[in-house]
Amino acid sequence: MVKILTKVPFKSGVNFRVIGDVFEAGANYKIGDLTIPKRWVSTLQDRLKTEDVKDLPLKEALESKELYLRGKLQGDTGIDWFGLVTKEFQELPLGVLEDAASKFASGPASVRYLASRERFVLEHKVAESKTGAGIYLSIDSGDFGVYGGNGQMAVRTALTSYDSFTGPILSTHSLNGNNQRTIHKFTADSIDSAIEATLEGIDSFSEGIEIAKATSYHPTAVQDYVQNLISVNRVPKGIRKHLAPIDKVISAYDLATTIASVGNAYAESTSLRMQQLGGEIIANARVIPYS
């Protein structure tokens, strides 16, 4: 369930240096006093394949590479490890993001909080579409953003339009400008530039909404489109049962809002992905070959 908050519930996590004597038992590693969680063993191995350390013994490679497990406390003694990062990793600079967004926005921010992934989406209203719908600047922290990030997901900026029935529809861009995953390396200037680049798309996003409303798809084309999304793992297979009742021509805009709405029946991260997909449908209404 996505919660709507007035501020980001920023939290303190745990950073643990991966260093010490190495003990291997099959696929398991114990390094110093820490047993590496199985789900992070392959990531650890990948981190140590770089040219600077790949030929060193494991203990020496860890001393040189300087890796850290990131996690959150569970109960009195447990830790849920959610990331494995290098010394270059920088925690998400929440204050810098908020200050940068407020320069270009009107009114206070709202926060969508995805508790199961400890993820937040910061939103500021920046414009209105030709039909009067609010357009918002969104900044998505990625998973475990309330702890400063996990080193696996980039922060992403987006333009968001809210449909009165289905909720947000997103058009996504990456904060580093090229939709590639990256560790956090932010400066105030780079964040300003990324936000400015996203806001340059306001007019085309607004126009895209109008085009999407005027572009129609045949029911058979919708099913073909959905099957293609399933085949490349963009959406859950269960989405078909929600779209099966579409038995008449539907506009690209209505298809986008329907898919965004269907996402509400799924886990938070899937819901967000479906909203982003709705934004893509609107942005590509004229080029999706299913009309």
Strand partners, 69: 16, 84
What would the two tokens of residue 108 be? Answer: 């206070």
Contact 124, 109 (CB under 8 A): yes
- Neighbouring residues of 197: CB distance < 8 A, sequence distance ≥ 6: 173, 177
Q: What's the token pair of residue 194?
A: 């990324």
| pLDDT value of residue 289 | 54
Rounded distance, CA 109 to CA 19, Å? 41
Interatomic CA distance for residues 175 and 140, integer angstroms: 9
pLDDT at 286 over 70: no
Query: pLDDT of 224-255, one tens digit each?
Result: 888 888 887 777 788 777 777 788 889 888 88
Q: Chain-wide mean pLDDT for the chain?
A: 81
Q: How confident is the model at residue 177 (pLDDT cuts 50, 70, 90)?
A: very low
- pLDDT for 256: 87
Q: What is the 3-state secondary structure (H, E, C) of 74-142?
A: ECCCEEEEEEEEECCCCCCCHHHHHHHHHHCCEEEEEEEEEHHHCEEEEEEEEEECCCCCEEEEEEECC
User: Dihedral through CA 174, CA 180, CA 184, CA 190, nearest 10?
Assistant: -50
Q: How far apart are the first and last CA of the chain?
A: 34
pLDDT of residue 152: 83
Model pLDDT for residues 81-134, shown as the tens digit of each residue: 999 998 888 888 777 777 877 887 777 788 889 888 899 988 888 888 777 778
Asked whether 261 and 246 are in contact (CB, 8 A), the reply is no
The pTM of this model reads 0.80
**CA-to-CA distance for 83 and 91, rounded, in angstroms?**
12
